[in-house]
């Protein structure tokens, strides 16, 4: 164990990254590396050091790690649109897989001792009910495939390059910071709650639902939604754990409860009954039902969610959308 001082956050000008930075700058030196493709200047914390750069540039990553004596990395940079990943596999492989490889190899003979990676529950594939971290991995779309490849790279070189890792498999992240200063701006990710929040503020709101023939209670797919602020807490606790225990780990990041798309729509409709639904065909690679088994994260990190209320998550999303 050593004292963590300098933390590099790739993708730190994005949705989740900006929320993590907001908390870490209070006690640590934070360096943000972001190419601003899906990150935004508006979300860059002034207390952090910002470097415009790309994880596909191995030399630049190595220079940043050396110049700022980086001891810990939170790796968030990546493309994450499922539909796009199937159409543009080269883009996703070069960024999500080769970019991760560049980052890891830049850690060779460096000061880096801890790496947190933002993976995805999509690596599990189509499951029926809660899924734990021991579940056989079976990605059903190309985005999920790139996340699994990145996981394998991080695990493969951990002993050789002498770092601990925390692989965090996100379920569906939503909501916005209570500070009101940051939230999700990017719309290309296809996040359900954000998209409905945007529509709910329109004069003639229309919601697109992709598929109503899933093997679920109402025909729409079921997901586990976690507030971004609770996800931030998980990152901070995971970083402390792997540094203190000098042990690597893989954790699910969700609440352990699933909501169908129509469940979410019904909650929004209580705020705006004018919402209209436009059903479209399924998106390739979308699974029927998945939500987290969170016994492991609660046991190991002693994690207790503070924002586990879907109505409050939705309310914070609407509030954020009304400000941008």
Residue 162 CA to residue 164 CA, distance in Å, equals 7
Residue 321 CA to residue 87 CA, distance in Å, equals 29
| Continuous segment of H or E residues that includes residue 174 | strand 172-174
Strands of 29-34's sheet in order across: 49-52, 29-34, 6-10, 72-75, 114-120, 164-170, 249-253
| Shared-domain flag, residues 199 and 241 | no
The residues that bridge with 158 in the sheet, in sequence order, are none
Our CA angle for 217, 223, 229, nearest 5°, is 145
- Does a structural domain hold residue 262? yes
| Shared-domain flag, residues 133 and 184 | no
- Give the chain's domain count: 2
**pLDDT per residue rounded down to tens, the chain (324 residues):** 689 999 999 999 999 999 999 999 999 999 999 999 999 999 999 999 999 999 999 999 999 999 999 999 999 999 999 889 999 999 999 999 999 999 999 999 999 999 999 999 999 998 877 999 999 999 999 999 999 999 999 999 999 999 999 999 999 999 999 988 999 999 988 899 999 999 999 988 999 999 999 999 999 999 999 999 999 999 999 999 999 999 999 999 999 999 999 999 999 999 888 899 999 998 887 889 999 999 999 999 999 999 999 999 999 999 999 998
Q: Is the dihedral of CA 130, 134, 138, 139 positive or negative?
A: positive
- Does a structural domain hold residue 297? no
Residue 115 CA to residue 248 CA, distance in Å, equals 9
Q: Which of 146, 161, 118 is nearest to 251 (CA)?
A: 118
- Does a structural domain hold residue 74? yes
SS3 94: helix
For residues 199 and 271, is the Cβ–Cβ distance under 8 A? no
> What pLDDT sits at residue 1?
66
Residue 3 CA to residue 24 CA, distance in Å, equals 14
Residue 270 lies in domain? 176-223+256-292+306-321
> What pLDDT sits at residue 281?
93
- Does a structural domain hold residue 205? yes
- Does a structural domain hold residue 298? no
Residue 51 CA to residue 57 CA, distance in Å, equals 13
How distant, in Å, are the alpha carbons of 2, 128, 279, 291, 309 from that of 216? 48, 10, 16, 13, 22
Helix and strand counts by DSSP (H, E) for the chain: 11, 15
Residue 34 CA to residue 51 CA, distance in Å, equals 7
Q: Which of 254, 88, 79, 87 is nearest to 150 (CA)?
A: 79
Kindly tell me the burial class for residue 299, based on how many C-beta atoms sit within 10 Å of its own C-beta (0-12, 13-18, 19 or more).
exposed
Token output for 76: 């968030």
> What pLDDT sits at residue 61?
98
**Which residue is catalytic, options 15, 68, 92, 143?**
143
The residues that bridge with 222 in the sheet, in sequence order, are 260, 289
| Shared-domain flag, residues 96 and 204 | no
How many CB atoms are closer than 10 A to CB 201? 12
| Shared-domain flag, residues 161 and 242 | yes
The CATH number of the domain holding residue 283 is 3.90.25.10
| Shared-domain flag, residues 136 and 284 | no
- Does a structural domain hold residue 301? no
The CATH number of the domain holding residue 113 is 3.40.50.720
| Shared-domain flag, residues 25 and 158 | yes
Q: Active site includes 291?
A: no
| Shared-domain flag, residues 150 and 203 | no
Q: What's the residue count for the chain?
A: 324
Residue 273 CA to residue 204 CA, distance in Å, equals 11
> What pLDDT sits at residue 283?
84
> What pLDDT sits at residue 127?
86
């Amino acid at each position: 164990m050593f004292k963590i001082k300098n933390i590099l956050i790739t993708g730190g000008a994005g949705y989740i990254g900006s929320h993590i930075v907001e908390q870490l700058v209070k006690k640590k030196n934070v360096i943000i590396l972001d190419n601003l493709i899906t990150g935004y200047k508006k979300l860059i914390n002034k207390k952090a050091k910002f470097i415009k750069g790309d994880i596909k540039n191995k030399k630049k990553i190595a220079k940043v790690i050396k110049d700022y004596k980086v001891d810990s990395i939170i790796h968030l940079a990546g493309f994450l649109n499922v539909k796009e990943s199937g159409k543009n596999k080269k883009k996703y492989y070069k960024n999500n897989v080769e970019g991760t490889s560049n980052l890891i190899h830049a850690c060779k003979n460096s000061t880096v001792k801890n790496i947190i990676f933002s993976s995805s529950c999509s690596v599990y594939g189509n499951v029926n009910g809660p899924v734990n971290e021991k579940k056989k991995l079976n990605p059903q779309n190309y985005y999920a495939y790139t996340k699994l490849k990145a996981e394998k790279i991080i695990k493969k070189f951990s002993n050789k390059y002498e770092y601990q890792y925390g692989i965090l498999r996100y379920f569906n992240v939503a909501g916005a910071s209570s500070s009101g200063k940051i939230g999700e701006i990017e719309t290309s990710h296809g996040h359900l709650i954000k998209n409905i929040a945007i529509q709910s503020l329109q004069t003639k709101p229309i919601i697109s639902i992709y598929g109503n023939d899933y093997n679920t209670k109402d025909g729409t797919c079921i997901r586990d939604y976690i507030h971004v602020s609770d996800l931030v807490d998980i990152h901070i606790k995971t970083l402390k754990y792997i540094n203190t225990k000098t042990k690597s780990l893989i954790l699910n990041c969700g609440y352990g409860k699933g909501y169908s798309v129509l469940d979410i729509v019904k909650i929004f409709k209580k705020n705006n009954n004018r919402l209209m639904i436009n059903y479209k065909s399924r998106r390739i690679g979308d699974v029927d039902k998945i939500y987290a088994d969170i016994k492991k994260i609660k046991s190991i990190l002693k994690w207790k969610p503070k924002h586990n209320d879907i109505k409050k998550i939705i309310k914070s999303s609407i509030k954020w959308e009304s400000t941008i």
